[in-house]
Amino acid sequence: MEETNLTDLIHKKTFNITTFGCQMNEHDSEIMAGMLIEKGYEQTADRSKADIVIFNTCSIRENADKRFFGTLGQLKHRKEEEGDAFTVCVCGCMMQQQHIIDQLKSKYPWVDVVYGTHNLHHLPELLDNLYEEKKKQLEIWDDAEGIVENLPAKRLFKHKSFVNIMYGCNNFCSYCIVPYTRGRERSRRPEDIVSEVRRLTLDGVKEVTLLGQNVNSYKGQSASGEAADFTDLIYMLAEIEGLERIRFMTSHPKDLSDKLIEAFRTCDKLCKYIHLPVQAGSDKVLKEMNRKYTGQSYLELVDKLRRACPDIAISTDIIVGFPGETESDFEDTLNLVRKVGYDSAFTFLYSVRQGTPAAAREDQVPEEVKHERFNRLVEEINSSSAEKNKAYIGRVEKVLVDGVSRNRDNAYEGRTDSFKLVNFEGPEGLEGQIVPVRITGANTFSLVGQLAEE
Ligand code: SAH
Ligand code: SF4
Ligand code: F3S
């Protein structure tokens, strides 16, 4: 019998991946899916029917940890019933922490495969070993051994894609776990990124989002020794035919260069949107967070961005209740938020992360104070978002259509250049296209529109 026929006779194992956390994790999950599909496994959207269940975990806040353990616990019964026929794998940022591994070993010994963020590309091998040796697999490295190129990925969208340009983080903000779970900064070679994006555009991708914890500190070096910074990379990518939009996530204010700000003016393909996490408005808190900028210098950056690109949309991340935050510190945050006028913001209650410097502080802010401040902040942000959105009414915006709307019947949803979510009605077949939409209404979190003439 020929080998191909034999493969067909074997039941194809199905897998399901649940992803917690940020775009890095989402993209890692796309890579895991790509690798498994290449090995002949089949992806399924139904976790309860999958032969292999994978959890890609996040450790950024405590509730992320809790949600994961809660969901994992629900599988114990199935594992007991099905034994070796059912495989449970866990990976991602939580697995880079020893106390989590200890907890898994003691309370969830039935988990089959555990691997860290640096070992992702070994997943097919770990599964082979599990099935051949019938022995649980654990593979965690402290740090990465360089960058693994050319991994396949199963994209969520045909027309847009994430592209990692760098890994890790060197900033050690005093509240944050990421430098411990993702290791030190490593930049990919510019030519590797360019050829990946070229391949993606040949496959129908019109928009790429360049990913890194702090893309502004990208330090690329080509094989021939030529250096490229983040803005150089953007200009290289802008040359690629078929690529229409370039986005990036995330940039640290301390490294936002004049050169990048200028690119918002001169590079048409660079989307007019920046996510610029401020975290807090008080200089005292910013210093203790180890952010290396002040409220004033942040406002100056915003000013420069708006002078270079008056239409630019700006979003941010803010943490409420960092240890030692007083009412007056918090008011500095509110004032900064009012001055900037954000298009949107992600707001977080400070969460103690074991092993980070801020976790050891004794002046933790009481939960009820955090919540009260949080609510005041959200109110401020929402009114700013609603106002920014209202200004779009009457404008015609180019919208990249993602697919059918999740919020409205018989409608599409897509994003403007400035990353505003738009719901609009239109004829069949618009998915993946960039179309003009006249904005007719605005809510706090989205816009409503109608298809306009080209
Ligand atoms: N590298 C990105 C942020 C990645 S984490 C950057 O620096 O911009 C995303 C956001 O989670 C952070 O911007 C921060 O606002 C929030 N965050 C990180 N650690 C946190 C913690 N311990 N408690 C609450 N929020 C936290
Ligand atoms: Fe965390 Fe700061 Fe690095 Fe962002 S820059 S990932 S907040 S340490
Ligand atoms: Fe979470 Fe890791 Fe991202 S901790 S936010 S998944 S880098």
Ligand nearest to the CA of 215: 1
Residue 195: Cβ-neighbour burial (10 angstroms; 0-12, 13-18, 19+): middle
DSSP string across 157-222: -SSEEEEE-EE------TT--HHHHH-S-EEPPHHHHHHHHHHHHHTT--EEEEE-TTGGG-EEE-
Strands 113-115, 207-211: pairing is unpaired
Q: 86 and 110 in contact (C-beta within 8 Å)?
A: no
* pLDDT score, position 6: 52
Q: What is the pLDDT along the chain (454 residues), one digit of tens a residue?
A: 445 555 555 568 999 999 999 999 999 999 999 999 999 999 999 999 999 999 999 999 998 888 899 999 999 999 999 999 999 999 999 999 999 999 999 999 999 999 999 999 999 999 999 999 988 999 888 777 678 888 889 998 999 999 999 999 999 999 999 999 999 999 999 999 999 999 999 999 999 999 999 999 999 999 999 999 999 999 999 999 999 999 999 999 999 999 999 999 999 999 999 999 999 999 999 999 999 999 999 999 999 999 999 999 999 999 999 999 999 999 999 999 999 999 999 999 999 999 999 999 999 999 999 999 999 999 999 999 999 999 999 999 999 999 998 877 779 999 999 999 999 998 989 999 999 999 999 999 999 999 998 7
**pTM attached to this predicted model:** 0.94
Rounded distance from Cα 183 to ligand 1 centre (Å): 16
* pLDDT score, position 369: 98
Rounded distance from Cα 110 to ligand 1 centre (Å): 32
Q: 313 and 384 in contact (C-beta within 8 Å)?
A: no
* pLDDT score, position 410: 79
Query: At 237, which helix (H) or strand (E)?
Result: helix 230-238
What are the Cα distances from residue 40, in Å, to 7, 35, 149?
A: 9, 9, 21
Ligand nearest to the CA of 59: 3
Atom of ligand 1 nearest to the CA of 353: 22
Hey, what are 175's tokens? 């509240």
- Residue 323 one-letter amino acid: P
Task: Please name the residue that has the structure tokens 């078929």.
Answer: 242
**172 in ligand 2 pocket by Cβ < 6 Å?**
yes
CA–CA distance, 454 with 447 (Å, rounded to integer): 19
Measured from CB, residues less than 6 Å from any atom of ligand 1 are 60-61, 175-176, 178, 213-214, 250, 252, 277, 279, 317, 319, 348, 350-351, 353
**Please, how many CA atoms are within 13 Å of residue 350, restricted to the half-sphere of its CB?**
31
**357 in ligand 2 pocket by Cβ < 6 Å?**
no
Closest residue to atom 5 of ligand 2, CA basis:
171
Hey, what are 36's tokens? 């498994």
Measured from CB, residues less than 6 Å from any atom of ligand 3 are 21-22, 24-25, 58-60, 93, 177-178, 181-182
Q: 163 and 211 in contact (C-beta within 8 Å)?
A: yes
Atom of ligand 1 nearest to the CA of 346: 15
Closest residue to atom 12 of ligand 1, CA basis:
317
Instruction: Report the SS3 class of residue 145.
Output: coil
Whether the upstream peptide bond of residue 209 has omega within 30° of 0, thus cis, is no
* Torsions phi, psi for 168 (to 5 deg): 80, 180
Ligand 3 pocket: which of 18, 30, 58 to mutate (most atoms within 8 A of CB): 58
* pLDDT score, position 10: 59
Q: At what angle do helices 327-340 and 367-390 cross, to 10 degrees?
A: 10
